[in-house]
Amino acid sequence: MNLTIRERQPEPAAEPGWKGGANISGLTVSRRPPGMWRNGASKFIRNPYAVAGLVVLVCFIILALLARVIAPYDPAAIDLLGANLPAGAGNHWLGTDELGRDILSRLLVSGQVSLLIGFSVAFASVLIGTMVGAVSGYFGGWIDVCFMRLVDVMNAVPLLFLNILILALFGSKFSYMIIVLALTSWMGVARLVRGTFLQLREMQYVEAARAIGVSNTGIIVRHLLRNSTVPIIVTATLMVGGAILSESALSYLGLGIQAPDTSWGVMLSNAQEFMLIDPLQALYPGLCILLVVLAVNFVGDGIRDALDPRKQTHPSRKGVGIWRRNSSKFEV
């Protein structure tokens, strides 16, 4: 049935102007309108904040991936003779801490921990939230009531308290941390997906799908979930930042990453103890957290602005000017 609509013309490879569009009297005319993703990508690229965020984030990811290779010293190596060196002293670019450990190396390795936790927590909680929200929004009834009460319960307890309680009870392991953070941050996604599903399940195309015998799972995955990808992606991105902040907070309080492992939060709690001796030590890890989270949030906002069809773009005065000048050329 779709064949007649989607059938593509064979590409005339010899003509140069035919790559992706027709060449009519010097103007490239697209053969079909660009899809949501390509449209979004071109909007994203034109957003300076989003691009800057992406560049910073990619830099941090590369540094984290290569941390063990490029770190000049062993991050856990203690050198009491070279403790509390200022920045730049004796080949330590950012100096050493109270035990003589190289701060730059520790920052790099911490970045690994923070990014790993950020991305895996965001992924896991989006997975949980989407499943709960999808089931709850699609089926409704008592399942919905149960899940929404659960969300109410989770929202009534301050999440930091819940995280601390669980980590104190079960011990602070790296894997526990990811599980705990994921289990306490899926509620927003669940609400979001449920809301979208409640709207979408009344749509005619869902009714049509059901009429031709598509199974519940098929409708959820292929028809409903696909139409809620954009808000899910945006929330997932913003969640990475939240997870990094939570990790640093828990580690700062002494309940997250434990020595000899390190993270930016651990470094900050160390730095506070020794701030009389070396006040600059507190600056670097916090700055790293700020930069990463800011970058992730900019990317998330950029994606939202790029993919949301309802979002009205405010063209800049300069942009309107360029557009006017260009369009006047064509009028001639």
Residues that bind other proteins (CB under 8 A): 149-150, 152-153, 155-162, 164-171, 241, 245, 248-249, 252-255, 265, 268, 271-272, 275-276, 279, 282-283, 285-286, 289-290, 293-294, 297-298, 314
* Residue among 179, 173, 176 at smallest CA distance from 258: 173
Residue with tokens 């950020």: 118
Shortest CB 115 distance to other proteins, Å: 15
Residue 282 burial class via C-beta count within 10 angstroms: exposed 0-12, middle 13-18, buried 19 and up:
middle
Min dist. Cβ of residue 52 to other proteins (A): 12
CB of 287 to other proteins, least distance (A): 8
SS3 282: helix
Cβ of residue 247: shortest distance to other proteins, in angstroms? 10
**Is the bond preceding residue 260 a cis peptide, omega within 30 degrees?**
yes
DSSP state of 228: G
CB of 77 or CB of 168, closer to other proteins: 168
Q: Which is nearer to other proteins, 13 or 156 (CB)?
A: 156
Q: Are 290 and 264 in contact (CB under 8 A)?
A: no
Q: How far apart are CA 216 and CA 18, in angstroms?
A: 43
User: Residue 166: how many CB atoms within 10 A of its CB?
Assistant: 19
User: Closest separation between CB of residue 150 and other proteins, Å?
Assistant: 8
Comparing CB distances to other proteins, the nearer of 112 and 163 is 163
Q: What is the DSSP letter of 219?
A: I
Give the nearer residue to other proteins in terms of CB position, either 39 or 84. 84
CA atoms in the 13 A half-sphere facing the CB of 318: 0
Smallest separation (angstroms) from other proteins to the CB of 99 = 19
Nearer to other proteins, 314 or 324 (CB): 314
Residue 160 or 214 having the CB closest to other proteins: 160
